[in-house]
C-alpha cells in the first residue's frame, strides 16, 4: 500500500464528513461512499482500524453516529444524514470529522 493512496482515501473521507457537517442534504452511505472503506474493504491495513484496534469503525465516533441514526431517527442504512435542527447529529458529525482529521495529522507527521 502506497502512502499516497492512503492519504488520498483519508482526504476523501474527510471531504465526505465536511459535507455532512455543512449540510443536512449530504448523505452517509456507510462503506458505499467512504473512500477508506473502498480501499480497505476488509479493514485490514486501514488507518482507522490501526488507530482504534478494532474493525468496522466500532470504537470510533462513527459508531455513535450510526446508533443515533438507527435508534433516534429510525433511518435506514445508506440514508443517514444530519437531521435539521438535531444538535446531536451536528455534534456527532463534528466528532467524526475531528477524529479523521486527527488521523490525517498523525499520517502527515510520519
Quote the pTM value: 0.92
What is the C-alpha to C-alpha distance for residues 68 and 80, in angstroms, rounded to an integer?
10
On whether the CB atoms of residues 29 and 86 are closer than 8 A, the answer is no
On whether the CB atoms of residues 59 and 53 are closer than 8 A, the answer is yes
What is the C-alpha to C-alpha distance for residues 71 and 73, in angstroms, rounded to an integer?
6
pLDDT, one tens digit for every residue, the chain (110 residues): 588 899 999 999 999 999 999 999 999 999 999 999 999 989 998 999 999 999 889 999 999 999 999 999 998 777 788 999 999 999 999 999 999 999 999 888 87
**H-helix segments, the chain:** 3-22, 35-39, 47-52, 61-71, 87-109
Tally of domains in the chain: 1
Cell numbers for 100 = 479523521
User: What domain range includes position 71?
Assistant: 3-109
Amino acid at each position: 500500500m502506497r502512502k499516497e493512496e492512503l492519504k488520498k482515501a483519508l482526504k476523501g473521507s474527510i471531504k465526505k464528513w465536511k459535507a455532512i457537517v455543512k449540510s443536512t442534504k449530504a448523505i452517509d452511505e456507510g462503506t458505499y461512499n467512504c473512500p477508506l472503506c473502498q480501499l480497505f474493504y476488509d479493514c485490514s491495513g486501514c488507518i482507522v482500524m490501526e488507530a482504534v484496534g478494532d474493525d468496522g469503525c466500532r470504537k470510533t465516533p462513527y459508531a455513535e453516529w450510526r446508533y443515533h441514526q438507527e435508534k433516534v431517527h429510525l433511518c435506514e442504512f445508506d440514508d443517514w444524514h444530519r437531521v435539521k435542527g438535531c444538535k446531536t447529529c451536528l455534534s456527532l458529525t463534528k466528532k467524526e470529522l475531528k477524529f479523521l482529521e486527527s488521523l490525517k495529522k498523525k499520517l502527515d507527521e510520519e
